[in-house]
Amino acid sequence: MTENKEQYEYHVPVMLQECLDGLDIHPDGIYVDLTFGGGGHAREIFKRLSSKGKLIVFDQDVDAKKNAWTAPNFHFVASNFSFLKNQLRMLGVSKVDGILADLGVSSHQFNEPERGFSIRSDEKLDMRMNQRSGDSAFDVVNGYDEEELLSVIGKYGEVKSPRRIAQAICLKRQGNPIETTGQLIEVLEPIAPKFKENKFYAQVFQAIRIEVNDEMNVLERMLEQTAEVLKPKGRLVVMSYHSLEDRLVKNYMKRGSFDGKIEKDFFGNILKPFTEVTRKPIVANDDELEQNSRARSAKLRIAERNEGE
């Protein structure tokens, strides 16, 4: 396996050492990287495996496959990670020792203007992680009615004025469809709070992106499956980039549910598949923040699979 500088530029791995420490890698173990991207985390995991160990990586973005390498104990799965259990079964794997998920959009996806993720360019509205299927951001922005847009922006945008945003979008598209990221920002400009415009635009883009990729439901399905495929004492390491993701991950690791409710057995023991290794999320140190701005919003949580749950 050869090192490739371009692969690291594709996506600089956030909190690399913390992720590796969290996985507590055993050389002969089986590990899964659910968000392969540029392969930064995966490459370092693979280095720590023996020939008996195995690394399985997932990515639904066709661009990511270019960063894969060839080895008998390395497997690239071109799939959404919500199909974790089925894809592992197809590889003849029922249980694994560790799972890593670095959620959110990769640097590469943000930096490729035609993907339509970034507020910095004027490209067609897309935002699909998997460009081969599903509705795009264009379909959401131009096809959803006002109440549907209100729901999406209100739930996923974490903004104060979702109704005004939905109304502005519906009004603008009456003449011609809103086709590009730049046109959408023009709609948002009169509503944006002064001196916080970019954050506001990013929040609206976030809401649309989450809807396009069904990110919250996909995350829930993935997390539930990690409990089924991890061995007892196996590690789950998840890095999130906004509070909606982090809340789901925290609740599932801490309480075994997504809404934060606690279930107990007859004897009063809490029923949950994981025990947190870190009570609070790990955040990037100052040195990393200077080198990689994407790490600023990252929160890393680590949990260990309970025995007998």
What is the band of 131 on the pLDDT scale with cuts at 50, 70, 90?
confident
Per the listing, tokens 């060839």 go with 70
**pLDDT (0 to 100) of residue 1:** 53
Residue type, 45: I
Q: And the tokens for 241?
A: 């980039």
3-state SS assignment for residue 129: coil
CB 145 within 8 A of CB 174: no
State pTM to two decimals. Answer: 0.89
Closest-CA residue to 139 (of 125, 150, 157): 125
Q: What is the mean pLDDT of residues 248-267?
A: 92
Residue type, 107: S
- Does position 172 have pLDDT exceeding 60, yes or no? yes
What is the band of 268 on the pLDDT scale with cuts at 50, 70, 90?
confident
Q: What is the mean pLDDT of residues 158-181?
A: 95
3-state SS assignment for residue 170: helix
Q: And the tokens for 231?
A: 């061995």
What is the band of 269 on the pLDDT scale with cuts at 50, 70, 90?
confident
H-state helical runs in the chain:
5-10, 16-23, 40-47, 84-90, 107-111, 137-143, 146-156, 162-172, 181-188, 197-213, 215-229, 243-255, 286-291
pLDDT above 90: percentage of residues in the chain: 74
Strands 299-305 and 274-276: antiparallel
CB 308 within 8 A of CB 231: no
**pLDDT (0 to 100) of residue 106:** 52
CB 32 within 8 A of CB 102: no
- Does position 49 have pLDDT exceeding 70, yes or no? yes
Residues 6 or more apart from 191 whose CB is under 8 A from it?
161, 164, 165, 168, 200
Distance from C-alpha of 100 to C-alpha of 39, rounded to nearest angstrom: 12
Q: What is the DSSP letter of 279?
A: S
pLDDT tens, position by position, 218-238:
999 999 999 999 999 999 999
* pLDDT, averaged across the chain: 90
What is the band of 133 on the pLDDT scale with cuts at 50, 70, 90?
confident
- Does position 192 have pLDDT exceeding 70, yes or no? yes
Angle among Cα 186, 130, 170 to the nearest 5 degrees reads 30
- Does position 64 have pLDDT exceeding 90, yes or no? no
Q: Is the dihedral of CA 166, 258, 126, 299 positive or negative?
A: positive
Distance from C-alpha of 47 to C-alpha of 55, rounded to nearest angstrom: 10
Q: Which residue has the higher pLDDT, 111 or 76?
A: 76
Q: What is the DSSP letter of 54?
A: E
Distance from C-alpha of 157 to C-alpha of 144, rounded to nearest angstrom: 16
Distance from C-alpha of 237 to C-alpha of 102, rounded to nearest angstrom: 8
Q: Which residues pair with 57 in a beta bridge?
A: 33, 76
